[in-house]
Amino acid sequence: MSGFIGRGGLWVLVQLGLFAAILATGWSGMLPFDRVPILGSVVFAAGIAIIGLSFVALGRSLSPFPEPLEHGRLVDRGPYGVVRHPIYTGVIVSFTGFSLRAGSWLALGLTLVLVAFFWLKTGREERALQAAYPDYVGYTQRVRWRIIPFLL
């Protein structure tokens, strides 16, 4: 499919809306722990590192859309050898860290909504990846976790 909507543009828009909502609500300062901001900063940095490593591993196959690029390739090394969608892992880790740093229960709750959204989005992505790459089924058997190791 071509065009913004056909390529999954609505998924991208909802994702960006969730990002904006987390950032907008992230400064309520309601978490009661003194050391949470330090922990949040470390968790945020870890998430950014996961995203960066995933971008590098994906290379020219990187796209915000849930449809693989026409001339993309299946990447199964680096972070993609641990989870099948490590950019989403990094985003979740980053927003968890941001929520802790900002001290916002609301931002933390919206991050959980983002986890559910990514679960739905990866379902669509996985169908498209199976159609595009014959080896994808084998990859899903080798790399069991979609987003979060030992959980999702």
> pLDDT by residue (tens digit) across 8-63?
778 888 888 888 888 777 665 555 556 678 889 899 999 999 999 999 999 999 98
Residue 8 pLDDT: 78
Domain extent, residue 56, equals 9-142
Residue 143 near residue 149 (C-beta atoms within 8 A): no
Residue 148 lies in a domain: no
Measured CA to CA, the distance from residue 106 to residue 6 in angstroms comes to 32
How many domains does the chain fold into?
1
Q: Is residue 101 part of a domain?
A: yes
Cβ(85)–Cβ(118) under 8 Å?
Answer: yes
Q: Is residue 75 part of a domain?
A: yes
Q: What is the CATH number of the domain that holds 112?
A: 1.20.120.1630
94 within domain boundaries: yes
Whether residue 136 lies inside any domain: the answer is yes
Q: What is the mean pLDDT of residues 88-104?
A: 93
Q: Is 152 within the bounds of a domain? A: no
